Structure 1
Amino acid sequence: MFYDLNVFKSAYAMATHAGQRQAVIARNMANADTPGYQPRDIEAFQKAFENSGREVAMTATRAGHLNGFSSPKPWAEFETTPSGDPNGNGVSVEEEMLKGVEAKRQHDRALAIYKSSMNILRSSLGRA
């Protein structure tokens, strides 16, 4: 009866997306002084998961990790538009900080959806 609930899949996918975006942003900030480095980003959550029939499976970050799949991520990573830095580096630390805050808010939103759904599920079972 209470198996395969899409709200939990969506919350998991949103949190995973936010975590992956935070990793990309952190890589951009780590390379802020690397000559010729161009910042990257991943596509928006809504665009990546607008196909509601998509299955969300665990993925492995290294061989044998969590017995997950090493398949490509369901979102596309792309280069953002470069700024005019003299050394050819396109990273703006200020922009990356704002993107990081946005990713944290998305992750917090996913956790709030998950917690709220758990509370509703517990209430429906008569447990508070």
Structure 2
Amino acid sequence: MFDQLEILSMARGLAAHSAARQSVVAQNLAQADTAGYKARDIASFGESYRAQPGLALRTTRSAHMADTAPPPALRPVIERGVDGDPNGNTVSIESQMVKSAEIQTRHEMALSVYRTTLGILRTTLGRR
């Protein structure tokens, strides 16, 4: 019953996106010394969330603008604009560590939203 609440669905999606992105960052770090390896990343959560079928942005008033952006593919893509080493590797350990910390923050936010929503539901039901 509660699994159809949009906020819980979004929190679950953010947690899953964070896990998938953390996996890609871990793969990048594991390949940091491999010649010719190109660093990869996953599209942002907002782009990935919009790409899911049936989750188009809703317009509740005529003044709202419709979302016309095409949905991106939800798969790792090679990062652009990254200078590589002479051996062709584009993995920067520092930037990957910063991404890892950002991803952890997003995952913790998803869990916090999930916990808070469940707390509100429990309070509403009188089961605090």
Could you state the TM-score of these two structures normalised by the residue count of structure 1?
Answer: 0.79
What corresponds to 1:125 in structure 2? 125
CA distance in structure 2 between the partners assigned to 1:12 and 1:2 by the alignment: 12
Give me the identity figure in percent. Answer: 40
Alignment of 1:53-92 (within 5 A): 53-54=54-55, 75-81=74-80, 82-92=82-92
| Consecutive unaligned residues in structure 1, runs of 5 or more | 55-73
Amino acid at match of 2:32: A
Amino acid at match of 1:75: L
CA apart distance, 1:3: 5.2
What corresponds to 2:35 in structure 1? 35
What corresponds to 2:50 in structure 1? 50
CA distance in structure 2 between the partners assigned to 1:120 and 1:51 by the alignment: 29
CA apart distance, 1:76: 3.0
CA distance in structure 1 between the partners assigned to 2:36 and 2:124 by the alignment: 56
What corresponds to 1:110 in structure 2? 110
Say which SS state the counterpart of residue 29 (structure 1) adopts: helix
CA RMSD of aligned residues (A): 1.6
What corresponds to 2:62 in structure 1? none
CA distance in structure 1 between the partners assigned to 2:98 and 2:14 by the alignment: 18
Say which SS state the counterpart of residue 50 (structure 2) adopts: coil
| Consecutive unaligned residues in structure 2, runs of 5 or more | 56-72
2:43 paired with 1:13: no
Greater helix share, 1 or 2?
2
Q: Which runs of 4+ in 1 moved over 6 A?
A: none
Between the two proteins, the alignment pairs up a number of residues equal to: 109
CA gap of 1:79–1:46, structure 2 versus 1, over 3 A, is same
Deviation string for 1:42-77 (max 9, x for gaps)? 0000111125724xxxxxxxxxxxxxxxxxxx6232
